[in-house]
Amino acid sequence: MPSQKIIIVSGASSGFGAMTVRGLADAGHVVYAGMRDITGRNTAAARDASEYAQTRSVDLRPIEMDVSSQDSVDAAVEAVVAEHGRVDVVVHNAGHMVLGPLEAFTPEQLVGVYDTNAVSTQRLNRAVLPHLRGQGDGLVVWVGSSSTRGGTPPYLGPYFAAKAAEDALAVSYAAELARFGIDTVIIVPGSFTTGTNHFANAGHPASPEVAEAYEGRYGGLMDQIARKLADLAPADADPAEVARSIVRVVDTPKGRRPFRVHIDPADDGAETVNRVGDLIRREFYRRVELEDLLGPALPAD
């Protein structure tokens, strides 16, 4: 894979995505910052990315990509391939958090949360993986969450479930892409109560009367969770470390990349549980003689 990589990042208008595209561009890569409605709601985000590129003399390009639309995702990937003839890295970062008692969310809301956090990765994969398979090379980075294995406080159920689904997809894809020479890394951020827009932009239940029924027993719960999470995190917790971790794995040679990278300042236990789960996965693959699927096929010497 060339040292300068062609990279597509979903959900790049804010938060981890915005930090990541800037970090990758600063590292010398050609980076496409996927975001929806760049001539509307995300006009300012697209403009800021373009201005960053101009000011820093880096190659950072906002691109229209609505991960809820296969046509939009296909068009974005086709535009990148038409420009460069290849894609080297895709970063699944698009996500959306919701807050509130699980019962108060409608089934349709759960479908929406699953779509943004999990199903959207399938749209992007179906658009980009034919190119990576054809190249016999590439890297898929999944931005997950420590909530899939660590301590999970109440009132975040739809988000936690959707991120768990994303993690399961990432693990399955890792094995199914290995023989094509495509590498997989799962980035596992913990809770960052400052420096991102996760909590500020979170969605809320469509049934406020149901949410109100929980207030008698669970009043003030979200404030308590936010306060305690902030207390658990060290004063120097920096969400930009997530972006720096992604830059490091992109720049690490194939075959030497870690399967998971945890960035969890509050230490909610996910790293411990994932270590056990990934060990069991490795041992099982050895038992069924599929050990080669634990890492990407490397070019013959």
What phi-psi label fits residue 267: left (phi over 0), alpha (psi between -120 and 50 degrees) or beta?
left
Question: Which whole number is the average pLDDT over 74-98?
Answer: 97
Quote the mean pLDDT of the chain.
Answer: 93
Q: Give pLDDT tens digits for 177-226.
A: 999 999 999 999 987 765 555 556 788 999 999 999 999 999 988 888 87
What phi-psi label fits residue 136: left (phi over 0), alpha (psi between -120 and 50 degrees) or beta?
left
Q: Is the pLDDT of residue 100 over 50?
A: yes
Q: Is the pLDDT of residue 243 over 70?
A: yes
What phi-psi label fits residue 101: left (phi over 0), alpha (psi between -120 and 50 degrees) or beta?
beta
CB atoms within 10 A of CB 227: 12
pLDDT value of residue 56? 97
Q: Confirm whether 159 is a catalytic residue.
A: yes
| pTM score, whole prediction | 0.94
pLDDT value of residue 195? 56
Handedness of CA 69, 76, 97, 138 (dihedral sign): positive
User: Cα–Cα distance between 141 and 94 in angstroms, integer?
Assistant: 12
Q: Are 11 and 138 in contact (CB under 8 A)?
A: no
pLDDT value of residue 198? 58
Q: Is the pLDDT of residue 269 over 60?
A: yes
More confident site: 3 or 7? 7
Q: Are 156 and 107 in contact (CB under 8 A)?
A: no
For residue 63, list its beta bridge partners: 34
Minimum mean pLDDT among 128-142, 246-260, 265-279: which range? 265-279
Q: How many CA atoms within 13 Å lie on the side-chain side of 155?
A: 21
Task: Catalytic residue, from 114, 159, 173, 214: name it.
Answer: 159
pLDDT value of residue 191? 79
